[in-house]
Amino acid sequence: MHEFAVANQIYQSSLETAIHHKAAKILEIKVELGDFTLVVEELLIFSFNVLKKQSPIIEEAELYITRSPGEILCNDCKKTSEIWFNEEQEISEENADELDLFTQKVHQSKDLRLMSVNLFKCRHCNSRNTDLLSGKDIVVKNIKVQD
């Protein structure tokens, strides 16, 4: 239940923000989701809608999600590239097993800190000697409240 954990994170931090600002109700929550969190949006929204019933402050809030790409740093040419998970699946056929392993790791890990995987291909020199710099961030960008 990876999505449930992420939804809970969004729920908690939004509620804390609302309470801190003495807001009566949260109407909208805008979240930017790193593409490499591998979160299924429908499941995230479903989980959030279950959670939000716990608090009258947040029960009417709508969740809006935008995706942000991952960024890798190449250890060979020292350049960074933007990557999306779907593209990686398409170009990584020979690396399908490693990509599966990566997917499992993301789903198992409780914290979403960076992992060194040497899996993603540099867009400049095609090296796989790369580190994932970002792409697992869950950022609450904006909360619309009713005072």
- Least gap, CB of 79 to Zn ion (angstroms): 5
Rounded-to-integer distance, Cα 38 and Cα 102, Å: 10
Nearer to Zn ion among residue 41 and residue 76 (C-beta): 76
Q: In the complex, what is the shortest distance from the CB of residue 72 to Zn ion, in angstroms, rounded to a whole number? A: 9
E strands present in the chain: 25-34, 62-68, 70-74, 80-83, 130-134, 138-146
Q: Which of 8, 16, 18, 2 is nearest to 49 (CA)?
A: 8
Q: Which of residues 23-82 bind Zn ion (CB under 5 A)?
A: 74, 76-77
Separation of first and last alpha carbons in the chain: 34
Binding Zn ion by CB under 5 A: which of 38, 83, 117, 122?
122
Count residues near Zn ion (CB under 5 A). Answer: 7
By CB under 5 A, is residue 125 in contact with Zn ion? yes
Residue with tokens 């090296």, as numbered in its chain? 127
**Cβ 122 to Zn ion shortest distance, Å:** 3
**Contact set with Zn ion (CB under 5 A):** 74, 76-77, 122, 124-125, 127
